Every structure is written in structure tokens, then in C-alpha cells.
């Protein structure tokens, strides 16, 4: 079985009848949404993107908003990088990082699905940074001031109407330090560093699925 599919289906088994489930974005998360849709559990889904909303409806998952269901039991989402031990994440290369983080902060248990190529000793990026469109060039300059090399994602606008700057660093600090610096920049709406959010990661590989849990 494909490693992504194996991880997605493994995590989908965590879904229980009556749950409110956060539905992530991206290719691996989409496989999990399909697996949940094939099940017979009566759940309510909270989608993290318009694309996920469309997919969830197509497979028969009933949807609600966070205003209607502010407490999420379980969220299954993908990641672009998963740091060993800490389970710090890089997310948002698909552009849905703002909604993904809002949902992650509302969930009791965030489970990541990925293949083993996404597991790293230390996150390095690029880090997607969502910025307001007004004077985005000035925001890019402020990002350069903390050592970033931002590149505008051409032709892309998020579901919330913002731009994405994909940021690389020649010398990057720890994920925690980078998140702190990004949080302090005017014009930044959100960024793709998810610090201390994931409870576990289901990682598909040639030998099956392994479950990584955050070190305490």
C-alpha cells in the first residue's frame, strides 16, 4: 500500500461515533477524509479549507462551523515537515495554514499523517508566511530584517484573501525561536510553524505505519 494512504487510513481508525473531527488539507489529509467518509461513524466535520469542504461533502461527511461546534475531539491533518521528538511542524505549503492552525488550536487531539520523507531531525523550511496584501512588500522587508529570504507565491491568494511569502533562512534558529520572531512582525497574519500542537504523527513507510508521539 502507498505510504501516504497507509498513514491516512491508520489515523482514520481513531475516529469514533459522535465525534467532532477536524478535516485537514493537502494530499495525505485528503486520503484520510476519504477514508473517514467510507466509514459508518456518525461524525461532524470541521474543514480547514474550501477544497476540503468540497471533498467532505462529496464523500457524505456532515459539516459544521467552529461557531457551531467550538470544541473538536480529533483533527487529522498533513504536514510538510515533522520534527522528531518535539513534533514541531511545518505546514502550509498548500496555502491553508491559517485555518489549519485555528482548527488545531480548537482540537483536543491533533494527529498528523505523512510519509517518512516528511520526518526530519530539525525543521528547516521553507516556512510559509501568510501576510495581508496591503503593503506586503514592507512586510517582506521586515522578514528580511530577521534573516529570512521571502519569495512571493505568484498567482496565489489564500481562502481568506491573503498572500503567501515562502521564507528560507541561510541560518535558521530553532523552530520555537523562529515562531516567536514571526509572531512579532506587523503584517504577518500567521505562519506555518506549528509549535507543540501535534499529539502524535502516523508515518507511513516501506515497513508499514509507525506512530510518533510528542516527547514530554
Q: Which residues are catalytic?
A: 100
3-state SS string for 133-157: CCCHHHHHHHHHHCCEEEEECCCCC
What is the three-class DSSP state of 9? helix
109 preceded by a cis bond (ω within 30 of 0)? no
> ∠ CA(176), CA(112), CA(166), 5° rounding?
50
Distance CA 201, CA 63 (A): 24
Pull the grid cell for residue 180.
516567536
**Rg of the Cα trace of the chain?**
17
Residue 160's φ and ψ, nearest 5 degrees, are -95, 5
Q: Which three cell numbers stand for residue 57?
A: 461533502
Half-sphere exposure of 90 (CA within 13 A, CB side): 23
Amino acid at each position: 500500500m502507498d505510504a501516504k494512504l497507509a498513514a491516512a487510513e491508520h489515523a482514520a481508525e481513531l475516529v469514533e461515533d459522535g465525534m467532532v473531527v477536524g478535516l485537514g488539507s493537502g494530499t495525505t489529509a485528503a486520503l484520510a477524509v476519504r477514508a473517514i467518509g467510507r466509514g459508518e461513524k456518525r461524525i461532524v466535520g470541521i474543514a480547514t479549507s474550501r477544497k476540503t469542504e468540497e471533498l467532505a461533502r462529496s464523500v457524505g461527511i456532515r459539516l459544521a462551523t467552529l461557531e457551531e461546534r467550538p470544541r473538536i475531539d480529533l483533527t487529522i491533518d498533513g504536514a510538510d515537515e515533522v520534527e522528531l521528538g518535539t513534533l514541531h511542524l511545518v505546514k502550509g505549503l498548500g496555502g491553508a495554514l491559517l485555518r489549519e492552525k485555528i482548527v488545531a488550536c480548537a482540537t483536543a487531539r491533533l494527529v498528523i499523517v505523512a510519509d517518512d520523507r516528511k520526518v526530519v531531525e530539525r525543521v528547516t523550511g521553507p516556512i510559509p508566511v501568510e501576510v495581508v496584501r496591503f503593503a506586503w512588500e514592507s512586510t517582506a522587508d521586515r522578514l528580511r530584517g530577521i534573516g529570512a529570504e521571502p519569495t512571493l507565491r505568484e498567482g496565489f491568494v489564500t481562502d481568506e484573501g491573503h498572500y503567501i511569502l515562502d521564507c528560507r533562512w541561510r541560518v535558521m534558529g530553532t523552530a520555537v525561536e523562529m515562531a516567536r520572531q514571526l509572531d512579532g512582525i506587523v503584517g504577518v497574519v500567521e505562519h506555518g510553524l506549528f509549535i507543540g500542537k501535534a499529539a502524535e504523527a502516523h508515518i507511513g513507510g516501506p515497513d508499514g505505519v509507525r506512530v510518533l508521539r510528542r516527547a514530554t
